[in-house]
Structure 1
């Protein structure tokens, strides 16, 4: 990776908080965290956006949008990190997460599957989207605010994932994922 990242011993403010959060959670600082710490204000703004989105849709729908977008983009970073988050939040079981990695979304509810599909479409063909795409979310039971927030969640994942991919940020092993699940998620990234 060509980007020089802030050393842990001199990191200050939000960058130091980012590092401390990773260390407390997994015992080390992820490469993607170190890269985002180069512009901690941008990371802080991203996190503020996520905090504004999640209350209307909940963690399960947020993770469905995030994982759907990450799989469509081919982001190993976000598939691994959010796969772990989905397991920890009981959004998916280990079997459901491995199935998801194989393009089987049945671990999600029917309404969440609609979100996964919507997020994937947004990630690969946003210009081709029509009211029919939004109608699928409405038919799944989502209201206007939730549809907007699902769209923002998927778009935010595109921003974050594509930045990591463009900067060739390496991916590490993610504690809390068994090797088979991690391998399936890496394979899903392409």
Structure 2
């Protein structure tokens, strides 16, 4: 259930990892409790789930997504939240909470004054803004510890309704899931890290020689590793794309599906477009042989 030895027992997996440093867990619980005490419970869960989704921490997304579905929203609204917060039936202020927590978890050093200004414009006070920042920052600590130690979400989360469970399993698989599938999802997730770094050699290392790739700029498809390599170099020469995976999961047929938030700008920084899309990967022997792009609304 993790990469470090943990004591046997029936405690949740996260508690068994922290059993080596119980004083740290107690201190974090005191800190997080103080943050939570100042917030509306629904807002706290929205901020926490948003941060966990951005961090791709399945454990925290499942735990707090379940609370959100059972106590504040419903399953369908939480699934919609993963895909597009503005389609989840939230108020403008709640959307601002989700978007601000997402920005914090994405990297506070990249934030700008307009990020806070948008939250204020949606009705958040300065106290509200600080509470969201604190909740997201605390989640970054906890999620990072769990994922850095390879701690898997407890097997009990597999009993959640299928749509909810699949939407919230955004990173590591639930304990007991197939290990080979987990490795394929990890390989696909690494692709997005290579894209963000514009590291073409690292990117191509994950592709089969006969890879079949969509040409989203000009239409049609690009076939063969050499052609796909040229495709990416040409695309990077004229655009800057931010491609953020929001959920990575295995499909029943063995393919790997990624819910992606995309923003494309020209080299001057002007926005060319943005969308939430599905990327579906076929792998053979651990290498990507095909990718298809779809509409996330198609599987609603």
Fold match, TM over 0.5? Answer: yes
The 4+ residue runs of structure 1 with deviation greater than 3 A are none
Q: Deviations over 1:66-108 (max 9, x none)?
A: 0111111111001100011112322x21110111222344233
2:136 equivalent in structure 1: 154
Change (3 A) 1:48 1:175: farther
More relative contact order in 1 or in 2 (CA 8 Å, sep 6+)?
1
Matched, 1:142 2:143: no
Q: Which of 133, 150, 162 does residue 179 from structure 1 map onto?
A: 162
CA distance in 2, matches of 1:168, 1:54: 26
2:78 equivalent in structure 1: 97
Q: CA deviation at 1:175?
A: 7.0
Query: Within 5 A, what are the aligned runs for 1:41-60?
Result: 41-60=23-42
2:49 equivalent in structure 1: 67
| Residues 79 and 164 in structure 2, CA contact (< 8 A), matched pair in contact too | yes
CA distance in 2, matches of 1:149, 1:176: 32
Task: Indicate the SS of the match to 1:89.
Answer: helix
2:5 equivalent in structure 1: 4
Higher helix share: 1
Query: Within 5 A, what are the aligned runs for 1:14-53?
Result: 28-53=10-35
| Residues 76 and 189 in structure 1, CA contact (< 8 A), matched pair in contact too | no
Change (3 A) 1:71 1:119: same
Task: Indicate the SS of the match to 1:116.
Answer: helix
Number of residues of Structure 1 aligned to a counterpart in Structure 2: 170
Task: Indicate the SS of the match to 2:84.
Answer: coil
Higher strand share: 2
Q: TM-score, normalised on structure 1?
A: 0.81
Output the aligned Cα RMSD.
1.9
Q: Deviations over 1:36-86 (max 9, x none)?
A: 222111111111112211232211111111011111111100110001111
CA distance in 2, matches of 1:84, 1:136: 28
Larger radius of gyration: 2
Q: CA deviation at 1:176?
A: 6.7
| Residues 97 and 181 in structure 1, CA contact (< 8 A), matched pair in contact too | yes
Segment drifting more, 94-103 vs 153-162: 94-103
CA distance in 1, matches of 2:33, 2:169: 27
Q: TM-score, normalised on structure 2?
A: 0.53
Matched, 1:163 2:145: yes
2:203 equivalent in structure 1: none
CA distance in 2, matches of 1:151, 1:158: 11
